[in-house]
Structure 1
């Protein structure tokens, strides 16, 4: 919808991922008399290849996914291939620890303030009630992941909630178009901004038609950059005039880039009744899927200077036929089939199953034959629940009669200055420097040891490592691959010396430019950032509304 493009908009939002769409919908609903311009790079003729991803250079492809696997162009942005996992950040993410130190530039007051926007966010994300702990849900309060488990240093009640998964473009496009105060402009790239005036006010944005390269300018009272970490960072690096009212460009811009360490290095063998182990999904009363995660008490993490980490029960490695599961082998064979595999899962998820390897095909076929008919029936049932229902089965977890499950870890990274994004000499290419530190890796190992000790002491179970102790660090470095959960490059802080935006997401040096991207998160938590960014989007829309009231 491209109408009234010559007027002054109240808010101009760049990017239509979940953050941009939620900000636009929430603000336009709160302010029906105010106008919103929503700008998206991807257009109706958008192809897989695009200039933005083609102009990204990743220095470390062992631990960082390809640009085309990290983001999506088009209405809905990252939600086009988002799995639907909704996870809250934790209080420990807002507490200074020696390894995080001065890089923890937000605080518990901010965390507690954001909680009032969680309920509204769950509505946009369609993930059920705003409860992220089983003890807050009467039907599950007091239940345990397995026989004999006791909460303490290790917890089992923190949960992830699952969306449909909601494809924000498909889900909200008609609502965006119907709203008379929202204008959607697709197929345009944000290029530049006017410099702030003497009061710090930025008046115009320049955009470029992706196909024709025609330049247009729009005027707005406020601007919100919600184009994702990579593109928000690139825009700001290319528009340092936005910081002309400051003594210098914020020194942290583009730096302290973080994702997550993720993978499997061990299994857990529980001692109790296998049928009493919560190995898979639970269903909330409203039908939403939820799932337990092992996490660690905040005090323990702070006292031992360890990084926030979640560990959940998982299947054995699909590509290794030693699991002897016909169903798993059939799913592996499906994923390595070039055309079918791409249709069933996004590249990053497919990689987590295949690890990019085609091996032991004959042994997998033999597993399928030996496991008939369940080799066919189990995947068929899963296919129906995962692809044909409105609220889809979020993942595949298979029961183990041995009460033995692989453990998948998902761990925070320290904010490390050398992990950064910078422009190439042409001021167009975005170069990403990304690596894992010894602190990151050692924390993963220590927390597995903590879990093992805790389970043994409570007579609940024990860990079985897949590697020798002196091989664990190398194994973690080889298997951890992220770059999908991006944060840190425009972090929140109380001064431009320490960050790029203030606690209201306003760009330092300006009065009316805001960043709504996970790039503002100074610590990466154990959680993927999509849901919590939605919380900040709702919060920002409410903050902009209050500015209107006072202007």
Structure 2
């Protein structure tokens, strides 16, 4: 049910969750479904239907806007959280992400045993995201084991069988709002900010959390047996930074809180030219038997990553840069022109995704118009078909990748960052403003270049194709640094570990020094891997719901 405030004031909830994004929703729904006699409060800062400007985002100081999106571009306040502008890509982390490697300098503070345990909840995560229950490896799918990405390709140092799957309910509010509203044991409370936890008792138990209403500034105390911060990496970290007393049991705030802030290095610096039959190249999205979309990606074997000292990297086939009319594609120019049209562009894609297409550039408009005219009628038919499949049917086409008759495709890289303590989130002297310090290290950039070199070498060894770089070798590092921008895949600032000396949370996502305070956010992930964090976070959320009941019921 939906409430203006939880009442009566002396009520004790079984569980209080701060934040109603996918993580908070999954914890709440999973707990309520499995334990119908429980009482759960889901508290959200934003309004039920989302918000525009807000004080939290306005009080974030982004010190590197070139490489980190501003808060309104990468987070959302309101029911459903950032799923309001999420693209829906579901990707699984790899075992190497949980293993200590020299390339990340001893900063891997989780382990393979945890991966094995959490993996048992990936089926439950897939159910919530509705991305299909199949594997994330084509070699495990019937009829796909011997099908390769292009003529002549052989798996070895480079793999072409790793998958991304795509969620159908990319907007969690629309998908689960009715269930939340009708659940008798779940209370949704919107328009409130989590402010102050009570100090832990001698056994680490926190009894209450004070909320402030956004409209009137009224302070309301909520009591619960357990609390979960699921407000996203930035806001969950801000709440902990503002509540140092919760760490009294371990002698003070862990040194890693707010540090090791990570995302991904992402962009395009090269094209791939395949040698074989263009009709045999697997460039596009497929649907499984349940209708769920998936697409293959290039990745590198764990042996190669360790031997060559590269960070985990995924690379997939993509279109050339939309804003550069030299691609001579009428359909791409038409899509670019639509995306830069102020009224239309904002409705076609969220800001971060739109920026990845337009790069914020209004470039050579006449050349794009010429492309459109030359490409008629395909310049209109192809975008219209894509528009219908992306916006007018229930199971939407996840993205756009156009067939290349020349068998050349742009390569989009998506690479891990090292856990660097200089990338961090801190509170300003006023105790409210959140400062974000975020940059790409030389090692991050060098690993991307090395990954492309390894892919090029493997393609040539297979006699399958080669890479064609868009920039001179000496300019690659500067170009990668200039084009890469994250802040969407926020990880690392409340990381999991084995002790408060090196982490903020234990393996069960419990805050060190407390008995009943948890963080369910990708901020708990010590490494970012090649994967978007949302799908794995869903598995952690389902696991946490079960753990809390077993521990605190």
Report the TM range for the smaller structure's normalisation: over 0.9
Match of 1:348 among 331, 352, 357: 352
Determine which of 152, 156, 164 is the counterpart of 2:156.
152
The structure 1 residue matched to 2:516, chosen from 512, 519, 538, is 512
Of the structure 1 ranges 125-134 and 193-202, higher mean CA displacement relative to structure 2 is found in 125-134
2:32 is aligned to: 28
Which of 311, 335, 340 in structure 2 is aligned with 1:336?
Answer: 340
Q: Structure 1 stretch 28-37 or stretch 448-457: which is displaced more? A: 28-37
Aligned to 2:285: 281
- Quote the residue 1:166 is aligned against: 170
SS where residue 17 of structure 2 aligns? Answer: strand
2:49, 2:71 → 1: CA distance? 20
The 5 A counterparts of 1:355-370 are 355-370=359-374
Q: Distance in 2 between matches of 1:65 and 1:401?
A: 35
CA RMSD between the two structures = 1.0
Matching of residue 64 in structure 1 with residue 68 in structure 2: yes
Structure 1 residue 303: Cα displacement: 2.3
Give the alignment's TM-score, normalised by structure 1: 0.99
Q: Measure the CA separation in 2 of the matches of 1:224 and 1:248.
A: 20
Q: For residue 470 of structure 1, what is the aligned residue in structure 2?
A: 474
* TM-score relative to the length of structure 2: 0.98
Q: C-alpha deviations, 1:132-177, integer Å up to 9, x for none?
A: 0011210322210001111111000000000124311111011011
Match status 1:404 vs 2:412: no
> What secondary structure is seen at the aligned counterpart in 2 of 1:208?
strand
Q: Provide the rounded CA distance (Å) in 1 between the counterparts of 2:417 and 2:543.
A: 26
| 8 Å Cα contact 1:82-1:165 kept in structure 2 | no
Secondary structure of 2:501 counterpart: coil
Of 509-518 and 43-52, the range deviating more from structure 2: 43-52
Q: Indicate the residue corresponding to 2:268 in structure 1.
A: 264
- For residues 51 and 255 of structure 1, what CA distance do their matches in structure 2 show? 23
Cα deviation for residue 332 of structure 1 reads: 0.3
Asked if 2 retains the 8 angstrom alpha-carbon contact of 1:118 and 1:130, the reply is no
Deviation per CA, 1:207-240: give whole Å up to 9, x if none: 1111111111100000000000000000000000
CA–CA distance in structure 2, aligned partners of residues 495 and 47 of structure 1: 38
Give the Cα separation in 2 of the matches to 1:327 and 1:136: 35
Q: Is residue 450 from structure 1 mapped to residue 454 from structure 2 by the alignment?
A: yes
The alignment covers a number of residue pairs equal to 549
Return the alpha-carbon distance in structure 2 between the equivalents of residues 4 and 160 of structure 1.
Answer: 44
**Per-residue deviation, residues 182-205 of structure 1 (Å, max 9, x unmatched):** 111001011110010011000000
> Paired residue for 1:189, among 193, 207, 222?
193
| 1:92-140 deviations in Å (ceiling 9; x for gaps) | 1011111213210001111111111011110000101141001121032
- Pairing 1:483–2:487 present: yes
Structure 1 stretches lacking a partner, 5+ long: none
Moved more, 263-272 or 135-144: 135-144
User: What does 1:12-411 align with in structure 2 at a 5 Å threshold?
Assistant: 12-44=16-48, 47-411=51-415
SS in 1 for 2:226: strand
**CA displacement at 1:248 relative to structure 2:** 2.4
Give, in whole Å, the separation in 2 of the partners of 1:139 and 1:374: 33
- Alpha-carbon distance change, 413 to 45 in structure 1, aligned in 2, over 3 angstroms: closer
Structure 1 runs of 4+ off > 3 angstroms?
44-47
Distance 2:51 2:224 in 1: 30
- For residues 165 and 260 of structure 1, the distance between their equivalents in structure 2, rounded to whole angstroms, comes to 24
1:208–1:214 contact (8 Å) kept in structure 2: yes
Residues in 2 aligned to 1:395 and 1:170: alpha-carbon distance in whole angstroms: 21
Is residue 126–residue 166 contact of structure 1 (8 Å, CA) maintained in 2?
A: no
Does the 8 Å contact 1:83/1:165 carry over to 2?
A: no
SS, match of residue 268 in structure 2: strand
Task: Give the Cα–Cα distance (whole angstroms) in 1 for the partners of residues 355 and 447 of structure 2.
Answer: 24
How much does 1:278 deviate? 0.6
SS of residue in 1 equivalent to 2:536: helix
Matched residue, 1:420: 424
In 2, are the aligned partners of 1:127 and 1:163 still within 8 Å (CA)?
yes
CA distance in 1 between partners of 2:215 and 2:29 (Å): 28
